Amino acid sequence: MPIPFTCPHCGLETTVADQYAGQSGPCSRCGKPVTIPGAPAMPGAAFPPPRPASKAPIWIIVLAVALGVMLLCGGVMVALLLPAVQAAREAARQAQCRNNLKQIGLALLNYESANQRFPPAIFTDEKGKPRKSWRVEILPYIEEQSLYERYDQKQPWDSPQNRALGNIPLTIFRCPSDPGGPAAATETNYVRIVGKDTIGGMPNEAVGTRDITDGSSNTIMLVEVSGLGINWEEPRDVTVDAFMDLVAKSASQGRRSPHVRGFQALMADGSVHFINNSIDPKTLRSLLLRNTGEPKSMAAF
């Protein structure tokens, strides 16, 4: 049975096996001689010192500290790398948006080559009611011939049969940077500039390359926007003044384009340029019109 005893010199309390009763030895703390109570002491005998405490908790603490340092360093690295990762992803999305515009531009140019005119931005019926959008008209030129054949040309765009086609998402008409959710999957980010002296023109007005007297490489045919809620099938676009107002608000209040700081524009020659929201309004208006007679160039953008 273990024998409890207390060192008379330093007060250390401990226990030893009863086989060491009556023996003497140095205290494990102060080193002074002590005698275990019990049987008569045997000269020269010693009892084993108390076993040292296990060092396992120390290693656990060391490992915990090391793990904490690793997690902290990992968090710092993630915080440092996250902006770069996000920038790389946005660059990839912007490149895809640019490719969408190039494909649409190629379709419009092929249409113009076959018909000597670009399609009107808006087709109306004899009563002036919107019947078809230019996006529907170029479906055969973007490998959507079967979808085009299902469109009833005699009915308005929002008739039940035609409206059902508008519920089919077409990724070519949507910028991948647009934050809209699933409900926005059938909306478009690409709109024509319409109105007097634009390439989109007035309803049913078909403008050809020869009508662009300011030069096709210096005249905007198509722009990207965000948040207007335009279905890709819907015959709705933006006027010069409306778009300039969007750009002005983007520069002062926040973006109305899927991209930060500016928007991408498709020129009449099929090239695509990124234009900053801070562009001079007079310059922007000149780029949106086809026959201002003013010298202009996209070399600065």
Mean pLDDT of 65-74: 72
The CB-side HSE value for 156 (13 A sphere, CA atoms) comes to 10
What pLDDT does residue 42 have?
46
Mean pLDDT of 184-190: 91
What pLDDT does residue 253 have?
60
Cα–Cα distance, 92 to 96 (Å, whole number): 6
Mean pLDDT of 87-92: 72
Q: Which tokens in the block code for residue 81?
A: 């790398």
What pLDDT does residue 206 have?
96
Overall pTM > 0.75? no
User: Contact 54/37 with Cβ under 8 angstroms?
Assistant: no
As a whole number, the mean pLDDT across the chain is: 83
What pLDDT does residue 41 have?
42
pLDDT level of residue 79 (50, 70, 90 thresholds): low
User: Contact 193/288 with Cβ under 8 angstroms?
Assistant: yes
Q: Is the dihedral of CA 133, 135, 139, 144 positive or negative?
A: negative
pLDDT in tens, 109-139: 999 999 999 999 999 998 899 999 999 999 9
Cα–Cα distance, 151 to 164 (Å, whole number): 10
Residue 58 has pLDDT above 70, yes or no: yes
Beta bridge partners of 198: none
Between 46 and 15, whose confidence is greater?
15
Mean pLDDT of 256-265: 77
What pLDDT does residue 78 have?
52
Q: Which tokens in the block code for residue 287?
A: 């780029």
Q: Which tokens in the block code for residue 255?
A: 């973006």
Q: What angle (nearest 5°) sits at the alpha carbon of residue 261, between those of residues 255 and 262?
A: 80
